[in-house]
Amino acid sequence: MPTTETAPSWVVLVPLKPLTVAKSRLDRPDRGALALAMALDTAGAVLDVGGGVVRLVVVTDDHRARRALTELAQSRSAVLAGAAVVGQSGRLLVAADEPGRGLNPALAHGAALARRIHPGCAVAAVSADLPALRPAELRQALAAAPPSGRGVLADAVGTGTVLLSAAPGSPLCPSFGPGSFQAHLDSGAVDLTARLADTVPGLRRDVDTVADLTAARALGLGPATARALAADPSPRSAA
């Protein structure tokens, strides 16, 4: 009897630095508040993708971020506790950065945790600074990910990585940092950029600088980032 392939269930990973050191290239006095706001908008968009995403794992040791993410979780369902987990609510889980050795170890830790909780899932690492991300864009990118191995999507500049996917049974092998897009290609990830191109502008628009923030603003910001800018409307962020 023929079998029909079904789409995998996804766990999405979002790493978040301590807010005191986040977004060092964003020339604004409120960059910590903006880093948190962008992470909340990213998390909200991921949670709104739908049933294909069974869990969002945010890896962070920042206490302020934990509280804000827990509030986001509470707006959806009750919070539970778990070993090595700061807060868990339905499809949102905030995990401590147990390695404490930077972005890539944090993502490797998150991927291992995801697969302990959801054996057989696919995993996707997504940047935390996507304030213009739309759920439909992430849904489209996950659908485009290869059914085996890994996939990578470049940022708007074309040198960084905004999404790295790993099919069920495939290791994530994150190599985020300067030149990460080419590093992921060199390690065998399939390029999703040409296929998705400009159909996912919010997903590809990460924010490191004031110019990036202006570009994201033109696409339409999420509610948390819009509120943060309204609270401190620095002229350097003007479009």
Residue with tokens 């996939």, as numbered in its chain: 151
Domain contains 3: no
Model pLDDT for residues 23-50, shown as the tens digit of each residue: 999 999 999 999 999 999 999 999 999 8
User: In total, how many domains does the chain have?
Assistant: 1
- Asked whether residue 87 is assigned to any structural domain, the reply reads yes
Which three-class secondary structure state does DSSP give residue 99? coil
Please calculate the CA angle 138-144-150 and round it to the nearest 5 degrees.
100
CATH of the domain at 211: 3.90.550.10
| pLDDT tier, 238 (very low <50, low <70, confident <90, very high otherwise) | very low
pLDDT at 5: 62
Domain that holds residue 116: 10-232
Is 4 inside any structural domain? no
Does the pLDDT of residue 203 top 70, yes or no? yes
Question: Is 218 contained in some domain?
Answer: yes
* pLDDT at residue number 50: 84
| Residue in the block written with tokens 């502008």 | 201
pLDDT, tens digit, 9 for 90 and up, residues 151-189: 999 999 999 999 999 999 999 999 999 999 999 999 999
Assigned domain for 1 exists: no
Closest by CA to 41, choosing from 236, 227, 238, 231, is: 227
Left if phi > 0, otherwise alpha if psi is -120 to 50, otherwise beta: which for 83?
beta
pLDDT tens sequence across 71-98: 887 775 533 333 334 444 468 999 998 8
Residue 210 lies in a domain: yes
Is 239 domain-assigned?
no
Asked whether residue 106 is assigned to any structural domain, the reply reads yes
